[in-house]
Structure 1
Amino acid sequence: MEIHRSELEVRLTDRRRQILREVISSYVRNVHPVSSSLISRSVQASSATIRNELAALEEMGFLMQPHTSGGRIPTDLAYRFLVEELLSDLSATLDDRGRVADVYSQLSTETETLLEGTLDLLTEMTGYVAWVSLPRPNNLEIRSLNFVEAGDQEILAVLVTANGVMQSRRINVPLATSSLNLARLSETLTNYLRHRSIIEVDYAEMHRIFLETVNLPEGLFQAVSQFIDSMSFSGERVIFSNALRLVVQPEFASSENLNSVVSVLQDRERFIRNLRSRLNSRSVQTIIGRENSDPDLHQVSLVLSRYEVPQAGEGTLGVIGPTRLFYERTLPWIKLIGESIAHALEDSGAGPQAWRTDERH
């Protein structure tokens, strides 16, 4: 039976909250299931009461027991509980503020130096894999989408944005292109897409338009949808620190777990797609375990900050670590560094033309 979060909060008594925090804290530090006897050292209650409370927390979905006779470990829901409490105050310490300020004061104003310095700072402070996404406009507006014959069973799709960016893609079709009314399709889709930003495209509505345009194969809709969607990633650059930093985490001793995460980091579009599927309006946010839309990231958490640079757009930065990462320290650090890189890039006068197109994995 599904239990809503509001109901869970009512059932989380002060003692259960204390016990849950102790379990999370112990597991984050030691990576071992937490026993009732260990909890009894810091919680004033009988052993029987603690065992009952642990069982209740497990029944509510906050804890799980890997082995019947062993202790318990936190679930993604437990980490979400912790993060929601932490979000009320993400103030960094004076020492951390001074440390970050010192780093940026020593970096040159060159864009590449600022980005690589930010990546190194994130990695050094947290110990996790870090990334920086370059700021870019998130409102690319479409001017037109046209289709022309490119062969007996091939068409050329050409999409133009309002700022003059043009992208094209060859699409194979399972019938003679001469039988397709490409002029009508171009006009119909352009009328729908014009003045919409790429991220505003409603693919269900676009599918309806396809169905109303006679003699069009279903595969053509899929190909055109993928083409338009890919434009939202065009020119977006993400740089990562070395993914092998995950190797030191016990969760990734298995090459299978490690390879799953690395496969996503090596595919820029796949990583960005997962990120965008969970972004919200918060300046600092987390994507914990199975909250990731990509199954290969279910073993990790992402802590990220959105930052904005005038005239350049919005970017993200963050870290990737095991779901049991040290949220108490990491969230304030991410917020602080996000604010710092935004100010540094603004002061440097950096704009979109400053970004190189290569990637550092």
Structure 2
Amino acid sequence: MSSADVTINQLTLATTTIVLILLCIAFTIGIIGLFLNIIVFTRPALCREPCSFYFLSSTYFNLFVVLIVIPVRILSNSFNIDLGFYNVGICKVEYFAFYSIRTISCWLITLACIDRYIHSSAKSHIRRLSSLKIAKITSGIIIILIPILYSHMIIYMNITYSNNQLGNRVPNCISNNDIHRVFLAIWYMTLYSLCPSFLMILFGFLTLNNIRQRRQAVARVTKNDRITRRTDSQLLSMLAAQVFVIVITTLPQSIIQLYVTFTANVVKDKLRLAQENLASKTLGGMTFFAHSSSFYFFTLSGTVFRKELQKFLRQYIYPHQNRVHINSGETRLPSAVPGNQQINCNNII
């Protein structure tokens, strides 16, 4: 066996190992974090915020990614088990659904950025557009529109055979049209990464500008205003953290996918194919952290999120601590919320 063959085998093994580790980590932290997201965002302090509604809606789609997409990718990349490689119907539906769900999740966060910009406007008639009703309508539009924009995949996706990095002829679920293959790479990069990332950054700066202008314009702030602004500021910090993760994890994968598509007709040796496969699948595995890590960044960046999480843990995991708190010989009873002031968030989602 030549040194090139040894290198190729090592790259292939490294690809399988790295992708398996990345996906297993994303799956584990996603299962825990996303369910805790649902708990926190349905609590009374947050459930009526339109920004929280976008976070919650995105969490539901991210759960699909974690529970369905990641296990399928583990079986496909690490064990070569993928029904989409052997059944045309599954091939079309699988990739259409996976592309659509992941893109919807990112666009819901984009809508949250736009909502923060609207909410921070100095003009009252613009601020009125930041409401739970508008959030539900715009989310519904995105959920319907994104699958329509990907509907062409159902027509062109098919099972084709090609040589892998080891020179073996293997099946793959890709577009059977060269022009559509290039178009899909650009389309996916634009819808999933470039356009959402650009809009997130743009409206992030516009929101900061609105906040700076409002601070200069308002001299006197009441106690209720301070509480509201503190909550808004925390939601903005959480949003910034989520945007950061989405941008750094999705852009590199989109770029490498575009490169692979444009060089598909270039004659490549086995070593180059193995190197490109390592880069493509590693960066592809990194994108799943955009769908599974939100809880941890919310916890780090949002005080209001941490407080609501702590309240839940004290209430349901350590119920005995809610009854009596003893500190330095003093006994304090926890504050109670009157029953008629409690908010039922189950009717909001």
Q: When the two structures are superposed, what TM-score results if normalisation uses the length of structure 1? A: 0.21
Query: Which structure carries more relative contact order (alpha carbon 8 Å, separation 6+)?
Result: 2
Higher helix share: 2
Tell me which structure has the larger Cα radius of gyration.
Answer: 1
